[in-house]
Homo-oligomer: A and B are copies of this chain.
Amino acid sequence: MSENVPAPEWITSEWLNSEPLSITSLKGNVIVAGAFQMLCPGCVSELVPQLRKAHALFGKAPVKVIGLHTVFEHHEAMTPVSLKAFLHENRITFPVGVDTPRHPHNPLPETMQLYGMQGTPTMLLIDKGGNLRRMSFGHVDDMQLGAEVVSLLSEG
């Protein structure tokens, strides 16, 4: 993506494992943000382990690994109470923001709608200046993700 597209500020109703975080407050960091639903099988089997690995690998660099819980279906089954148990069971210790729900008016939550995400999992990469450099639906290969994060890190 172009280097000049500011990532829209995410809209969240709650944060787990962290104080509330904003894109603005994280400037200077590369942000790896994985949008997931706790009952989406591909998220559980691929995105969550990948975020956990990135969190461990880049823990000392100015890289912030974050989860966004973007629930757009089965809202009653994926409440923050359930999410807390999910984080515990899947040993997720990085910050997770809950995308603000808009239902019953609309199944899509605020951030998902704002970004035009197609579903879950979706991977967002945001550079140190707050620009959205990747948004992709589906799985990103581990080697490619590692390469892209360090490429963004090496930018001035």
Which residues of A are at the interface with B, using a C-beta cutoff of 8 A?
39-41, 44-45, 50, 53-54, 57-58, 73-74, 76-78, 81-82, 84-86, 88-90, 141-151, 154
Give the oligomeric copy count: 4
| Min CB–CB distance A71 → chain B (angstroms) | 10
- The DSSP consensus for interface residues of chain A is helix
B143 in contact with A150 (CB, 8 Å): no
A150 to B40, CA, bound (A): 32
29 contacts between A and B (CB under 8 A): A39-B82, A39-B85, A39-B86, A41-B89, A41-B90, A44-B45, A45-B45, A53-B141, A53-B143, A54-B143, A57-B141, A57-B143, A77-B85, A77-B86, A78-B82, A82-B82, A141-B142, A142-B143, A143-B145, A143-B146, A144-B146, A145-B146, A146-B146, A146-B148, A147-B147, A150-B150, A150-B151, A150-B154, A154-B154
